[in-house]
Chain A
Amino acid sequence: LWRWLPRGSTLPDEAWAQRHRAILVLLWLHVPLIFLLSLTEHLGVLHSLTEAVVVAVLAGGATAERARRQLSTVVAAIGLMTCSAILVHVSGGVIEMHFHYFVMVAVVTLYQDWKPFLIAISFVVLQHGVIGVLAPSAVYDHQAAIDHPWQWAGVHGLFILGMSAAGIASWRFNESLLDAAEDREERLSEAQDLARLGSWEWDLASGLTWSPELYRLFGVDAGELNPSPEDFLPGVHPEDRDAVDGEIRRTLEAGTPYAVDCRLLLPGGTVRWVHARGAVTIREDGRPTVMSGTVQDITDRKRAEAELRDLSELKDAFVRTVSHDLRTPLSVISGMAQLLQETDPPNDADSQRGIAERIEANAARLNRLVANLLDFDRAAHGRLAPNRKPTDVSAVVRDVVAVVEVGDHPLRVESEPALASVDTDQIERMVENLVANGVRHTPEGTPIWVRVGRRPDGVLITVDDAGAGVPDALKRTIFEPYHRDEASGGTGIGLSLVVRFAELHGGRAWVEDRPGGGASFRVLVPYEGAEFSTDPGATRALGVAG
């Protein structure tokens, strides 16, 4: 049974205030009504005035205590029932006047609250019983009731109860509808919160409403802003304002929906990307009535798109660079081979040998570039674990230096025996790349020094040049994959591989200024080697930052 009964007190304050205002007006109207009716019933001015004053006092009390909802409601309910009692009394208990009770109970039901409702019913029963005993003709106009006032009070109460049941049912339905509406609103709000989607509706007659999520998107508290159509645009980023304004105007004029991506500038200065949609309902005469729309946060998507675009540009630049770098030695090999084939004039043995030498050197350069590409790919997939064996690092370095292509750069080597547990191939690749880097970035004819020495914490390999040196701002970035000086050649992965190989050995690679001018590239490899990482993430293979 409890489940079927309404809860009561569920009326929102606004709705209560609206109904209460109307009920108070009704109550006050009874004051002159009762006075005039009493006069027509020949009760005399003083008596009539007394009856009216009783109602006026209750009406005044309810009006004065408007701020206290419970109290004001109860006083008003008693006031309404008192009106019924007085009307029955002044009419001499005319039975038709009892209908007034029914109307008043129905009015009290409008409060959708148990306290005034129960007070109203009790009032009917008590008033009929007590007054029925004391002055039966004030409530009843027939003998049976005058003889048994309580019994007839019960009869009257029963009818009131019956009509109350109908009132309660309608009250219960109202509550269910209210609950359902609240539930829907709550779910909509949750959905909007999840989707980071705010909505708004602009009734051109009554004004603009924003959903709670829309306030959050604009970074303002609901209480702080009473939304108006003019509040939307200032929240939009100044650079996007004209475009959005244009879209909204076009929609209002043409009646076609709009969909636009724009930035919001939040009070703290944060920029948020949103996708805004809107549509308008046009009346038959062609004028807009209601405009509504949604605003969805798409900052994350925009950020991901930008990152993807950057990566794609990086990839494009990488492909261009690699193609260029591969093509130079290829065209030299091809051109030299053409020269070898020429018979007019025939090549002498010396020039043949010289040309063949250049073909071989350029093939070796191609080999190095392709090896770098393959290692770069392996590093990206974490498949570069060094195969370490006790090795004399200086012997490995001397072997590489003997065959490495340096053009007309004088190459000087200083080394001392340095035994360490290393991957021979990776040591070779590091020296090859560092020397090639020196050759490429320094003027022809300037020397390059390669040194191998024992240090307390490992073997130090140094490749020095007498070029312009590396500016401080670039000392870190030149080791990042893809970094390259646009015009200087090199795929920009050679140095990143040097760092990678060094780290795989538990060591490190860096660049300093060479005393006397130029750059000093250094690789330190521990004798035994610390734990190394094969985690592909650590390579930051596609990462932009080092």
Chain B
Amino acid sequence: MTPTVLVVDDEPDVRLMLRLKLRREQFDVIEATGGVHALEILAQTTPDVIILDLRMPDVDGWAVLRALGEIGRLAHLKVITFSAHATNNAVEQALALGSRAHVSKSRSLDQIVGTIRAVLAA
């Protein structure tokens, strides 16, 4: 069965890049352009893993993470937080909020895919 990845990022090119890569790696990809959009999608479907950008306008990744935690969905949703440059402190905070892993945007696409596979296998 093909795993589904929800990519949440306000940057169209970042989504495009991940979509191209993940499709080649045999994932199904759905995309959200922001926090509100992501929550709308999650109300209807449950992807196998979520790549969540922390820094977005309006409803950011932090808000999405908290919202999911509040409605008790993080036990079943595998969230990987994603950011251009996060401090150790921010990474710890994201993990404490229920994220399964954090990956930096400066990592190679193969490393990002590796993180997704590791989280799926856990």
User: Does A441 sit within 8 A of B, measured CB to CB?
Assistant: yes
State which of B16, B24, B56 has its C-beta within 8 Å of the C-beta of A345.
B24
Smallest CB gap from B12: residue in A: A407
Count of chain A to chain B residue pairs whose CB atoms are closer than 8 Å in the complex: 66
What 0/1 pattern do residues 76 to 92 of B give for CB contact below 8 A with A?
00000000110000000
Q: For the complex, count residues of B whose C-beta is within 8 A of A.
A: 24
A485-B57 contact in complex given A327-B85, A331-B105, C-beta closer than 8 Å: yes
User: Quick one: which of B55-104 are within 8 Å of A by CB?
Assistant: 55-58, 60, 84-85
Contact B57 A339 (CB under 8 A): no
Residues of B within 8 A of A485 (CB): 57
Residues of A within 8 A of B56 (CB): 487
Residues of B within 8 A of A408 (CB): 12
Residues of A within 8 A of B106 (CB): 327, 330-331, 334
A332-B84 contact in complex given A338-B109, A487-B56, A487-B57, C-beta closer than 8 Å: no
What 0/1 pattern do residues 397 to 421 of A give for CB contact below 8 A with B?
0000000000110000000000000
State which of A328, A355, A487 has its C-beta within 8 Å of the C-beta of B105.
A328
State which of B13, B21, B110 has its C-beta within 8 Å of the C-beta of A362.
B13
User: Quick one: which of A443-494 are within 8 Å of B by CB?
Assistant: 443-444, 485, 487-489
Contact A444 B14 (CB under 8 A): no
User: Does A256 sit within 8 A of B, measured CB to CB?
Assistant: no
Number of contact residues on A: which range applies? 20 to 34
Smallest CB gap from B60: residue in A: A487
User: Does A537 sit within 8 A of B, measured CB to CB?
Assistant: no
Residues of A within 8 A of B55 (CB): 324, 487, 489
A358-B13 contact in complex given A327-B85, A328-B84, A485-B57, C-beta closer than 8 Å: yes
Contact B20 A351 (CB under 8 A): yes
Contact A323 B17 (CB under 8 A): no
Q: At the interface, is chain A mostly helix, strand, loop or mixed?
A: helix
What 0/1 pattern do residues 324 to 365 of A give for CB contact below 8 A with B?
100111111011101100100100000100010010011000
Residues of B within 8 A of A358 (CB): 13, 16-17
Cβ of A123 to closest chain B Cβ, rounded Å:
95
Contact A355 B20 (CB under 8 A): yes
Contact B14 A328 (CB under 8 A): yes
Contact A444 B33 (CB under 8 A): yes
Residues of B within 8 A of A335 (CB): 14, 17-18, 21, 108-109
Residues of A within 8 A of B24 (CB): 342, 345
| B24, B57, B85, B108 interface centre (most CB from chain A within 10 Å) | B57
Smallest CB gap from A488: residue in B: B57
Smallest CB gap from B54: residue in A: A487
Cβ of B86 to closest chain A Cβ, rounded Å:
10
CA distance A487 to B58 in the complex (A): 7
Contact A332 B11 (CB under 8 A): yes
A332-B17 contact in complex given A327-B85, A487-B55, C-beta closer than 8 Å: yes
* Contact sample, A vs B, 16 pairs, CB 8 Å cutoff: A327-B85, A328-B84, A329-B13, A330-B106, A331-B84, A334-B108, A335-B21, A338-B110, A339-B20, A339-B21, A342-B24, A351-B20, A358-B13, A362-B13, A408-B12, A443-B33
A residues at B contact (CB < 8 Å):
323-324, 327-332, 334-336, 338-339, 342, 345, 351, 355, 358, 361-362, 407-408, 441, 443-444, 485, 487-489
6 further A-B contacts with Cβ under 8 Å, apart from A331-B84, A339-B20, are A329-B13, A336-B13, A342-B24, A487-B55, A487-B57, A487-B58
